[in-house]
Amino acid sequence: MKVISTTRSVSISAFKAREVTREIQGLPATDAMALLQIVPKKAAFLIRKTLATAIANAENNNNLQVSSLTVQEAVVGEGPTAKRFQPKARGSAGPIRKRSSHIRIVLTDELPIVRREDSKKRKKSTAGKSRPTKAAAAAAESQAAPSAETPDSGASA
């Protein structure tokens, strides 16, 4: 079951907040909360509040266990932009854009929980089983080529 939590018109640019949401996608909800606790950014605080709301909605409204929840989607979209002007030299004015954003987090209990440590171990174990490089394939081919050829020592006479 999917649980959605949205925070609208948060005063941070979407570009800055997306940097944090990329890190929590696919993580278990408890790991994502722990990660957001230690990230020293304003966006991490705002996203942590939205994630806490999504977890509370899952527990109270849908009777789901927190340990089975995974962050399926963490999206930050552009919100309304307040336009201001900064006075400049010789009577001119420069624009200031005070950007805001909407944060949406989707939790689900349908995805299998995969921790980052588990995926790193899996990558290391499959690293030795990768395809040979072009240089290794060429070296193996050059070793096999001389043994396949037979010398014509008696044919020329």
pLDDT in tens, 76-106: 999 999 999 999 999 999 999 999 999 999 9
Query: How much is the pLDDT for 123?
Result: 66
CB-based contact 31:117 (threshold 8 Å) = no
Q: What percent of the chain has pLDDT over 90?
A: 66
In a 10 Å sphere around its CB, with 0-12 CB exposed, 13-18 middle and 19+ buried, how is residue 20 labelled? buried
Q: pLDDT band at 37, cuts 50/70/90?
A: very high
Report yes or no: 81 and 98 within 8 Å, Cβ to Cβ.
yes
Give the model's pLDDT for residue 113: 74
**Topology at the third CATH level for domain 2-113:** Ribosomal Protein L22; Chain A (3.90.470)
Among the residue ranges 5-14, 73-82, 109-118, 133-142, the one predicted with the least confidence is: 133-142
Compute and round to an integer the Cα radius of gyration of the chain: 28
Mean pLDDT over 37-59 rounds to 95
pTM for this predicted structure: 0.71
Q: Judge contact between 40 and 9, C-beta under 8 A.
A: no
Cα 41–Cα 42–Cα 45 angle in degrees, nearest 5: 95
* Phi, psi dihedrals of residue 109, rounded to the nearest 5°: -110, 10
Predicted pLDDT at 124: 67
